[in-house]
Amino acid sequence: MSDTPALLVIDVQQSFLHAPYWREDDVPVFRENLLKLIDAAVARGWPVVRILHEDGDAHFSAASGLVTPMAWVPEAHDVVFRKQVHNAFTGTQLEAWLRERGIGRLIISGIRTEQCCETTTRVASDLGFAVDYVTEATLTFPMVHAGSGTRYDAQDIKQRTELVLDGRFARICTVDDVLADH
């Protein structure tokens, strides 16, 4: 395996701008961190893997025309995979693409922290990849528990995601941690 990691940029797409839960609160910090990761990956020659979520659900359907990167996401990428489920591996050629290049470490970023980013991390770990989960380069939104009515803000959800992933499925990192290590 190569020491070169691949940066996965998961679901940073126009579809979310039309979702009823979309909020701009955390977008500036998310954008800054994600752009720093992408710029560093390009400068260091790390593959940038763009993942887009496409299914039959309204703004995530191909017919919507919204399954495209957000306007501020740089064009820089080595490959694009379209997925129809939460994780980026099932139903795509992502694993084969990574293995053909000898990539054994993944850097996870994107939207939503606890959904597509977390499930991709779990599957990647189960497949034997080392994973750096860069929470500050992920984005999510407040949620309300259907049973109790408890509201969880984005930071609560990010903490929970870190709790369940750390040391089991991934190493929780900041952007600076990742850049210092590779």
Q: Is 19 helix (H, G, I), strand (E, B) or coil?
A: coil
Boundaries of domain holding 160: 6-181
Q: Is residue 1 part of a domain?
A: no
pLDDT in tens, 38-84: 999 999 999 999 999 999 888 999 989 999 999 999 999 999 999 99
Cα–Cα distances in angstroms (integers) from residue 11 to residues 68, 98, 153, in the given order: 9, 18, 20
pLDDT in tens, 75-114: 999 999 999 999 999 999 999 999 999 999 999 999 999 9
CATH number at residue 29: 3.40.50.850
With contact defined as beta carbons under 8 Å apart, do 8 and 51 qualify? yes
Mean pLDDT in residue range 171-179: 97
Q: Is residue 100 part of a domain?
A: yes
With contact defined as beta carbons under 8 Å apart, do 111 and 140 qualify? yes
Q: How confident is residue 1, by pLDDT bands cut at 50, 70 and 90?
A: low
For the chain, the domain total comes to 1
